[in-house]
């Protein structure tokens, strides 16, 4: 990465193609505000923690499609300390700003090398920029969904996510904010926050991007050894087992408990995988559809008022790396 500005003028992104000044890197709130002021037209934000991969680029492409040629995509790159517990991988989380900037300009460049949209603004602040008072005094309480599944293992995680997401929503003031379905629980909580706090924007979910062998793309896949990478395929295999179980109930309504059991059995049969949870829930409220315990609020009465779609979600450790994956399953007869 080239020079990083400390003043309030955004720095043109050094790009492998001729983006002119259409792509800028901003580090401070003032730089971001200046770049936004110079970029009229519709705006979308993609929030990331960097170490960008094709899954992130799908979000960026969808953002660019929505804003159109005169619009602006803001990509935030910030490894948010508030969403990591002291025992987690904050310090070792992969960081590659230079590679991220090159990937973004490559993703958005047309055949002539110029950006295929009005502007790309990258906002890569330090923790001091996002949390100028140190630990924030006013906190977001993400509610009951944040206490189950991911929240049970990571009790402070979603409060930290909401804190930074709401802050970045205010700083970037977009019409659309795009989030991946891979973090399905995060998506449900952010949707609830935007609804409950009347945040004036639209959340756009984007589908999971997978490697050709089925592994869901994740920045944390970089931690896996070749052997662990192979073992990690057990997660997507378990989701397929859930789909297969649903497909077996031809004509009848799929049985959520049988779907969950099939996914669990598949994961239990895999080597090198330590299961955290396998759950089938309502994708919006995270109510338990399979009566699996797990501390989830129960859908009452189980099985009677099934939503049309269930979210089959798995989490497991492969070596020291904790991985998550999920899929939506049609529960209609
Ligand atoms: O999904 C992520 O990468 C992060 O949780 C997010 C939304 C960028 C907030 O830090």
Helix or strand or coil: residue 315? strand
CB-based contacts of 99, cutoff 8 Å, min separation 6 = 52
Q: What is the pLDDT of residues 264-319, one digit of tens each?
A: 999 999 999 999 999 999 999 999 999 888 877 777 655 567 899 999 999 999 99
Residue owning the nearest CA to atom 2 of ligand 1:
48
74, 80, 181, 187, best to mutate for ligand 1 pocket (most atoms within 8 Å of CB)? 80
> What is the CATH number assigned to the segment(s) 17-206?
3.40.50.620
Q: What is the pLDDT of residues 89-101, one digit of tens each?
A: 999 999 999 999 9
How does pLDDT run across 256-265, given as a tens digit for each residue?
A: 999 999 999 9
Domain boundaries, the chain: 17-206, 219-330
**Can you list the alpha helix ranges (DSSP code H) found in the chain?**
29-37, 54-67, 97-108, 127-130, 150-153, 157-172, 184-196, 226-231, 233-247, 256-268
- Residue 3, pLDDT score: 33
14 or 303: which carries more pLDDT confidence? 14
Q: How many angstroms separate the alpha carbon of residue 47 from the centre of ligand 1?
A: 6
Give residue ranges with CB within 6 A of ligand 1: 47-49, 80, 83, 161, 164-165, 183, 186
CA angle 52, 282, 221 (to 5 degrees): 25
Tens digits of per-residue pLDDT, 17-53?
445 568 999 999 999 999 999 999 999 999 999 999 9
What's the CATH number for 219-330? Answer: 3.30.1300.10
Q: Grade residue 11 by pLDDT with cuts at 50, 70 and 90.
A: confident
Quick one: pLDDT at residue 6?
41
pLDDT bracket for residue 5 (50, 70, 90): very low
Rg (CA), the chain: 21
Nearest residue (by CA) to ligand 1, atom 1, is 48
The predicted-structure confidence for 55-108, as pLDDT tens digits, reads as follows: 999 999 999 999 999 999 999 999 999 999 999 999 999 999 999 999 999 999
Can you give 219-247 as a three-state secondary structure string? HHHHHCCHHHHHHCHHHHHHHHHHHHHHH
Are 280 and 260 in contact by the 8 Å Cβ rule? The answer is yes
Instruction: Supply the DSSP symbol for 324.
Output: E
How does the average pLDDT of the chain come out, rounded? 92
């Amino acid at each position: 990465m080239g020079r990083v500005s400390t003043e309030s003028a955004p720095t043109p992104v050094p790009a492998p193609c001729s983006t002119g000044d259409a792509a800028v890197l901003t580090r401070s709130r003032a730089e971001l505000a200046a770049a936004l002021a110079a970029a009229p037209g519709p705006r979308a934000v993609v929030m990331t923690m960097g170490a960008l991969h094709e899954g992130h680029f799908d979000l960026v492409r969808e953002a660019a499609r929505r804003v159109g040629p005169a619009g602006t995509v803001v990509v935030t790159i910030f490894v948010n300390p508030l969403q990591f517990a002291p025992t987690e991988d904050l310090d070792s989380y992969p960081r590659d700003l230079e590679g991220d900037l090159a990937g973004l300009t490559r993703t958005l460049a047309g055949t002539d090398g110029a950006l295929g949209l009005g502007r790309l603004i990258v906002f890569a602040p330090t923790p001091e920029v996002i949390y100028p008072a140190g630990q924030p005094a006013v906190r977001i309480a993400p509610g009951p969904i944040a206490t189950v599944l991911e929240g049970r293992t990571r009790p402070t995680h979603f409060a930290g996510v909401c804190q930074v997401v709401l802050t970045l929503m205010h700083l970037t003031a977009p019409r659309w904010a795009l989030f991946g379905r891979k973090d399905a629980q995060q998506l449900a909580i952010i949707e609830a926050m935007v609804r409950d706090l009347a945040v004036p924007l639209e959340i756009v979910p984007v589908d999971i991007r997978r490697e050709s062998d089925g592994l869901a793309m994740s920045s944390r896949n970089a931690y896996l050894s070749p052997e662990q990478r192979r073992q990690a395929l057990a997660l997507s295999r378990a989701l397929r087992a859930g789909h297969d179980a649903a497909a077996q109930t031809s004509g009848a309504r799929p049985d959520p408990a049988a779907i969950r059991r099939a996914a669990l059995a598949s994961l239990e049969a895999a080597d090198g995988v330590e299961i955290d949870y396998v759950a089938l829930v309502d994708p919006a409220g995270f109510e338990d559809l399979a009566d699996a315990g797990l501390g989830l609020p129960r859908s009452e009465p189980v099985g009677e008022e099934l939503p049309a779609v269930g979210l089959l979600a798995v989490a497991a450790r492969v070596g020291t790396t904790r991985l998550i994956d999920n899929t939506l399953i049609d529960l209609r007869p």
